[in-house]
Structure 1
Amino acid sequence: MLEQYYQDFGTHVCITREQGSRFAKAVADDFNPLHDVEAKKFCVPGDLLFSVVLDKYGINEQMRFTFANMVDEGVKLGMPQGSAQFDIKDGDKCYLSVAREGANSVCKTLTNALIKNYVEFSGKAFPHVVIPLMGKQDVMINPARPMIIYESMSIHMDTLDAHAPELREGEHEFSYEGKRGKIILRFDLIENGAVIGHGEKHMLVSGIRQYCQDTVDELIRGYNEKKAALKPE
């Protein structure tokens, strides 16, 4: 399912602006302006990097992804031979660190199901999850510069003997001090009614300000208008 969203050269992969932007909008339902083709500071969606790693290396019982730098177009993302820990780099610059433990599955059915469900969950975090979560503590992001940075994510699988697990949201968490904060989004993986795994997505937030309902309403209205205009058919 990912062939159209990156170029595979064996030892490395590359992602164009068009591929990253199309993945964000068509797969992740993510309309962050950083992923627009014409964005001045374009960056490849972190969820696409995560998906490429699963597509190339399969799924381990325990996996952790730590994001170090934003990926622009033209970056040659080295794909080292699989090991317990490795970095996705271009030269000396690291973009993503991967740590893996336990058994490994290269089942494409399982991989594609996990990618699809996680990316859809992750992509809708803003504004549908993040804004209400912060609003419970009477704060919000800066609407002029909504800086939310993808820090890390982890997955723990109780079993790899699965085919099409569904994702169920867990108990999310937000904490902050001053203008900086951290968001943890939690989820469970369900198959045949049983929990077979769980995971977390960690994000950093800056520019936190006092909550204003009118501003939130305008922010969501603008986001939904952009989504309606740019959503692929």
Structure 2
Amino acid sequence: MEEDWGDIFRSIQNFVSPEQEIAEEIRDIGADNEDYVNRMLGRENRIAIAGLTSCLPSRIMHHGWLLQVRNTAIDNIVTIGGPFGVRQITIYAAVTYVDRFLSVMPIKNERFRIPVLLGMACLNLASEVLERYEHQVDLSEYEKFADYDETTIMDMTDHVIHQFGETVTCVTPIQFTKYFLSRFCRDNTRTEYARIKTVHVIMSTLGDVRLMSLRPFIVGLAATLLASNPNILNEGQIATEISALPPNWLIPL
């Protein structure tokens, strides 16, 4: 179910500015201890219990038009987020919110007229959750990209939150990478390269609704393992690496 996004996908791969890279480095994301990972896994479980994990792959099978809505919303997220230096974790979270909304919204007919507004609302929500106030994009700036005023964007943001049952908790694979890098990247001279490569791999999953429906923990683990150990070629080697992690995490191969 991976789409050929053309310009959309290339934008996601290339929108990172030097300012964003600096912001990612200065503002550490995650922690490298098991207590932190357990807390994040607890958040994953709460999201699942609330029924807010993405079921978009199965929904698209019956309502194919949802994929175009998704693509338009993501294109708008990248178009706005890139120029303003929004961090990659925030972009990822915004797409997660898009998938979550399209998974839970009532479908009355095969038409959704405001995908651009949905992208704006989800980016606004992700920024409120993950960005410090001084780094959030002012809603007045959004108006330069589409004919929606601040009130309309806020109303849509409130509607998205309402559809989520007021639960805006979000977990991304990027939040696990610091821990996994400390376990999988044994060459300290490659740590920064592996970190950047890991985030690039994670961001590339935005194009596949099936991968986006997986647990963030699993996506973060796989991406970090791939970036840290490019010579891993088979299931046995993967199992060896994973065996060093706590068994109660129940990691599927």
TM range (shorter): under 0.3
Query: TM (normalized to structure 1)?
Result: 0.28
Query: TM (normalized to structure 2)?
Result: 0.26
As a proportion of its length, which structure holds more helix?
2
